[in-house]
Chain A
């Protein structure tokens, strides 16, 4: 528990130390002296010596940043992520039990409208499946050791966690491509406008009978899109930094990339729970659109009335 308070304190100390000695190097006559305490303090800041060893950063005797990274990763990101995931699942379960599914409020008309082209659906499901594989393997890498090793036994655990690493490292770059394609293709649908403000003010009509207007995409969907765009790109970039260590990134770069990657991914995983809930259990008729490409007119009128009008008036600006 005490550990939770350590990182800020540690940073402060490090900052103090650093400010005192920032200008010193081990070769300063005063510091060098006969290799006393000041000398080792400077070495501790990561000063490079010379060595016959050829490995990367071989000349660096001490790197204290690793301990800081350990604290941030183990004492903050790991528990915070677990609480966030557990909490979100609990809230969704309670919400479902109390409010239940959002039903269509009129019977289906039987008339279908095309909502997602084949390419949109292929893109969505490719990214979705890769996301799930990456989330499961990533969560296993972060949390697996706490219980999976005991459950599986050493030899299964070794194979499973190796598979997780391979899947993560080789499918990750494919996810980057899929996500980039999706961002470029769908950005035009997701520019916020006045309609979204009203939509947010009415809470998206999730509870009760309110039906805030929405175009092709509603405010909630747009938030998910921008979350995937902004946080997703951070996750992709930091992931690529870690995946291609062959370019010689130093340890500190990796530590930062790892923290950004972990925090960003946990945010996306929590967000995806909301997205998956609303798209399946939470809303009657929502999944059909992404499954078949077509939605019922009743559903369109109820959830995306402005888009429905556009389609009916024959000037559907959304579909490209």
Chain B
């Protein structure tokens, strides 16, 4: 069974925010909510790195574990979805999530946050696939149409990859090999960096 994952190649992301825009548009996300965001570390300094982040669809999802209404469910593809009819807006999922993915439309006193909203991997919600109800509450359901999430599809540098974890890591591994270094892309030091732009792909 496929296990859907995102991966953002930090060596490619140029902080164009195209994924953010694609997501907002495709899912008609409410005002004040951004399901995906691009964070730049060391902006304007040596080692500047940008990463696009949204819900990472954790295998052992912390949000799911703490939700008092038990409104989360995981699809067979490992996509973490939630049922807005059950959500009470308590905010616990946000407190538990490592990536700050759950967002709320409101922020009023007495814990009035409204229903939680987060990235659905473009897989909608519990309503019937691509029904108007599903569209209104959760946005697009591209997965039901056999398509991948819009953010990754629109990524200008193909930094953001989405899909079956095995395929995503294959693509990434291939990139790492062609960039050329000893130690896996995530633990590179300057000395190990040996990128050869003239290298041709066979």
Contact = CB atoms under 8 A, between A and B. Distances in A.
A52 B42 contact: no
Contacts of B42: 26-27, 32, 49
Nearest to A28: B47
B86 A161 contact: yes
A119 to B, nearest CB: 28
Interface string A131-173: 0000000000110110001000011011001101100011001
Chain A interface residue number, banded: 35 or more
B47 A158 contact: no
A245 interface: yes
A153 B146 CA distance: 32
B98 A67 contact: yes
Given A36-B187, A161-B69, A161-B88, A43 B98 contact: no
Interface string A28-63: 010111111101100100010111111101111111
Interface string B16-45: 010010000000000000100111111101
A291 interface: no
Interface string A237-248: 000001111100
B189 A33 contact: yes
A12 B58 CA distance: 24
Task: Pick the most buried of A32, A58, A144, A245: most chain B CB atoms within 10 A of its CB.
Answer: A245
A50 B39 contact: yes
Interface of A: 26-27, 29, 31-37, 39-40, 43, 47, 49-55, 57-64, 66-67, 69-70, 73-74, 141-142, 144-145, 149, 154-155, 157-158, 161-162, 164-165, 169-170, 173, 242-246, 251, 254-255, 258
Given A66-B96, A73-B66, A162-B88, 10 more contacts: A34-B189, A34-B190, A35-B10, A52-B38, A58-B100, A61-B39, A69-B96, A70-B66, A154-B85, A173-B110
27 contacts: A27-B46, A33-B188, A33-B189, A35-B49, A43-B41, A49-B41, A49-B42, A53-B37, A53-B39, A54-B34, A55-B37, A61-B39, A61-B51, A61-B99, A63-B97, A70-B62, A70-B65, A145-B68, A149-B70, A161-B68, A243-B110, A245-B111, A245-B113, A246-B108, A246-B109, A254-B91, A258-B92
